[in-house]
Amino acid sequence: MTMRRAGAAGRLASYLPVLDWGRRYDRRAFLSDGLAAAIVTIMLIPQSLAYAMLAGLPPVVGLYASILPLVAYALFGTSSTLAVGPVAVVSLMTATAAEAVAAPGSAEYVTAALILALLSGLILLVMGAFRLGFIANLLSHPVISGFIAASGLLIAASQLQHILGVRAGGHTLLEVGRALARGLPETNLPTLVVGVAATGFLFWSRTGLGPALRRLGLSSGAAALLARTGPVVAIAISILAVVGFGLEARGVAVVGEVPQGLPALSLPPLDLSLWTALLPAAFLISIIGFAESVSVAQTLAAKRRQSIRPDQELIGLGAANLAAAFSGGYPVTGGFARSIVNFDAGAETPAAGAYTAAGIALASLFLTPLLFHLPIAVLAATIIVAVLSLVDLGALRRTWAFSRFDFAAMAGTILVTLGFGVEPGIVTGVALSVLLHLWRTSRPHVAVVGQIPGTQHFRNVLRHDVVCAPEVLSLRIDESLYFANARAIEDIVQRAVAERPQVRHVVLDCAAVNGIDASALESLELIMHRLGDAGVKLHFSEVKGPVMDRLARSDFLRHLTGRVFLSHHEALGELAPETTRRADLAARPDIDAARTFPERASRRPG
């Protein structure tokens, strides 16, 4: 979908993508979207009830959060398959934030959830207006996957109370575990039976229901889609069981009365002190929700060679959260599992989301009386099965093998999330990613390089047989120069020159220097003056265009004791003509050694 069109209409369409795809909308797209919406609706009814419960809210709030927000996203979003609504991690974060300012079950608690949606919507819109989508990139892949795995474990643990039929709250794994241990003796057996049966059935339905349906003669596509109805089947059967066996009298907790009808439009109260208290949590909810949603949307768009626009996604999700705030919902974002179902079922445009909203609206109008006898243990089972599928502990092993730094960020995020809760977890993850990145680049790799005889190439003297001129020290800097490594470069150059008293010229090969900031400029000036005091000139080679442009804006080049050479070979040709001529004319006995570079790379640093 390209959105560029001339004039104001084009600009408007870029902010309101529906104007673009809407004018191409036809009967075929309607049928595809309608089918996908029907399937997602069936999936969303139990999920919305369950996630509202996870957020500590009345079940109906989950339904409300699945109506207007979906319509808002359909108008402003750019993904044709993202299914917006309540999701597990954001629900848990909502519970954590709301519990900090209000008692669960109170009217203030519901208000806090509304304010979180409102603030989150405003934050996302502001980020969209200023094109700040890049902030979500601060969540590195290991941090996100660690955070989602740890949240999944926390959520699953927190739902065990409903399977056991006891009360056990807590924000950390330890708190939840202790509360469960205390509650264990009061386990309600009928609830446990219902809960375990539902969990077992739902796990089986993920992998076994599809093949079973195929054996019954269904096409594999239809079987795969029908297999997604597992949660609805579990709900229907469990309601019948509760009514048939009179399980409520035996202590099985049920959802109870769910208000019938559509949400009323209303404005969350303007309570500044409450807004201020909830702002940090709303910010984290926005960032996590956006990052999760964008990665799902991008993955699905790529499969169809479409693309999404992350900055417009901020607007779409912002509008969805504002809609949630004005219609009795709570924070929403794009869900992983539902979006995949929507994609598989053939959704073609964001209209599928609007049709899903209509489906949920119908359910709110007509189906809520049926939910009275729905056991809470079955909702808990739905949540447990959904979140455990997000836990990918194999990623820990793969990340460990690839990079200790990334592993440290991932493990830190997981441990802090489990041990201290979701908000400290995500903050720690981001801080670790950034600090480890700064630390990694704070010790730049600098190689002494020499000429490969018979070529114009220069390579690390430690890895290759190369020719060096004794009076010229060639240093290749393998990092952009900025504040975190500027002082390290001073040290490295100073030490390298101190070890070679015969050196008269230092040439810094800057082919891998992609940027130089003011701190690094200061360090380069210091290096130049120190070398100058020792009678050594400082030269540069292979400086990139943008870096050269930048240096030209300061006094540095005017005071430079040496010169800036286009290529490193040219520099050596000027500064050590004798050595270079011999190296140029030499046979190339070790060109094969040079070619073995990738193999030898595994032994020595580069």
Q: Looking at residues 553 to 582 of the shown chain, list those that interact with a copy of itself (rule: CB under 8 A).
A: 553-554, 564, 566-567
Nearer to a copy of itself, 33 or 542 (CB): 542
Instruction: Say how far apart CA 500 and CA 242 lie, in whole Å.
Output: 86
Instruction: Say how far apart CA 306 and CA 304 lie, in whole Å.
Output: 5
**Please, what is the minimum distance in Å from the beta carbon of residue 51 to a copy of itself?**
27
Q: Does the protein bind a copy of itself through residue 142 (CB under 8 A)?
A: yes
Q: Are 311 and 61 in contact (CB under 8 A)?
A: no
Residue among 139, 323, 524, 571 that touches a copy of itself (CB under 8 A) = 139
| Alpha carbon 293 to chain centroid, angstroms | 8
Place of tokens 């934050």: 123
Residue among 486, 507, 508, 538 that touches a copy of itself (CB under 8 A) = 486
Q: Does the protein bind a copy of itself through residue 482 (CB under 8 A)?
A: yes
CA angle 140, 298, 413 (to 5 degrees): 20
Size of the site for a copy of itself (CB under 8 A): 89
Q: Within 327-421, where are the H helices?
A: 336-344, 351-366, 376-388, 394-402, 404-420
Q: Looking at residues 310 to 329 of the shown chain, list those that interact with a copy of itself (rule: CB under 8 A).
A: 310
Report how far apart, in Å, the C-alpha atoms of 405 and of each of 40, 142, 420 are: 39, 10, 22
Q: Does the protein bind a copy of itself through residue 292 (CB under 8 A)?
A: no
Nearer to a copy of itself, 465 or 491 (CB): 491
Q: Looking at residues 107 to 136 of the shown chain, list those that interact with a copy of itself (rule: CB under 8 A).
A: 134
The number of residues in the chain equals 606
Residue among 438, 499, 559, 581 that touches a copy of itself (CB under 8 A) = 438
Instruction: Say how far apart CA 212 and CA 210 lie, in whole Å.
Output: 5
**Please, what is the minimum distance in Å from the beta carbon of residue 439 to a copy of itself?**
6
Q: From 166-174, 175-183, 264-272, 508-516, give the range in contact with a copy of itself by CB under 8 A.
A: 508-516
Nearest to 315 by CA among 137, 124, 131: 124
Nearer to a copy of itself, 260 or 514 (CB): 514
Instruction: State the first-to-last Cα distance of the chain, in angstroms, to the nearest integer.
Output: 43
Q: What radius of gyration do the chain's Cα atoms show? A: 31
Q: From 62-70, 212-220, 240-248, 530-538, give the range in contact with a copy of itself by CB under 8 A.
A: 530-538
Q: Does the protein bind a copy of itself through residue 483 (CB under 8 A)?
A: yes
**Please, what is the minimum distance in Å from the beta carbon of residue 239 to a copy of itself?**
42
> What's the burial of 604, exposed, middle or buried (CB within 10 Å: 0-12/13-18/19+)?
exposed
Residue among 206, 250, 500, 530 that touches a copy of itself (CB under 8 A) = 530
Task: Quote the crossing angle between the two packed helices 88-99 and 107-129, to the nearest 10°.
Answer: 120
**Please, what is the minimum distance in Å from the beta carbon of residue 402 to a copy of itself?**
5
Q: Does the protein bind a copy of itself through residue 389 (CB under 8 A)?
A: no
Q: Are 541 and 509 in contact (CB under 8 A)?
A: yes
Q: Does the protein bind a copy of itself through residue 392 (CB under 8 A)?
A: no
Other C-beta atoms within 10 Å of 192: how many?
Answer: 16
| Alpha carbon 328 to chain centroid, angstroms | 27
Nearest to 40 by CA among 417, 487, 295, 339: 339
Nearer to a copy of itself, 62 or 316 (CB): 316
Q: From 88-96, 186-194, 220-228, 398-406, give the range in contact with a copy of itself by CB under 8 A.
A: 398-406
Instruction: Say how far apart CA 606 and CA 602 lie, in whole Å.
Output: 9
Q: From 196-204, 333-341, 454-462, 500-508, give the range in contact with a copy of itself by CB under 8 A.
A: 454-462
**Beta strands 458-460 and 472-477: pairing type?**
unpaired
What tokens appear for 606 in the block?
């580069």
Residue among 105, 515, 577, 589 that touches a copy of itself (CB under 8 A) = 515
Residue among 71, 74, 163, 484 that touches a copy of itself (CB under 8 A) = 484
Q: Does the protein bind a copy of itself through residue 496 (CB under 8 A)?
A: no
Residue among 138, 415, 427, 496 that touches a copy of itself (CB under 8 A) = 138
Q: From 6-14, 177-185, 214-222, 597-605, give the range in contact with a copy of itself by CB under 8 A.
A: 597-605
Residue among 491, 499, 581, 589 that touches a copy of itself (CB under 8 A) = 491
Q: Looking at residues 4 to 33 of the shown chain, list those that interact with a copy of itself (rule: CB under 8 A).
A: none
What tokens appear for 498 in the block?
């101190």
